[in-house]
Amino acid sequence: MTCLGPLKKWCFVLAVLAWAALFCAAGPAWAQSGDDNSSPEAIEKRIQELRVYYKDDHPEIQRYLRALEKAQENEARRQTEKMMKQRQEQQESAPAPTSGSSD
């Protein structure tokens, strides 16, 4: 019965290590998915933090650089959509031109 104790500990340790390896390999979910909630500024800050330890060819930095590119594209798209919506609202609220014909 005493040998089950160490075996249980090893099973627990292996499970924790497997979970940690999976978490580390997956990386941050928002960086991979290009989540709209991640701001370019926050991603740039994280890249600068990682550059203290790693070079730009490190996989983690590469992942964040791709996420930064997606975030910047999303930001530009949002700005464009916002301007188009404002123009459309201005056109809809503008008075309709009247014809100047007198019969």
Confidence of residue 38 (pLDDT cuts 50, 70, 90): confident
Q: Residue 31: what pLDDT?
A: 46
Taking the model in full, what pTM does it have?
Answer: 0.53
Q: pLDDT tens digits for 39-79?
A: 999 999 999 999 999 999 999 999 999 999 999 999 999 99
Quote the pLDDT of residue 57: 94
- For the stretch 1-31, pLDDT in tens is 455 576 677 777 777 777 666 555 555 554 4
Q: Tell me the two tokens of residue 11.
A: 């099973």
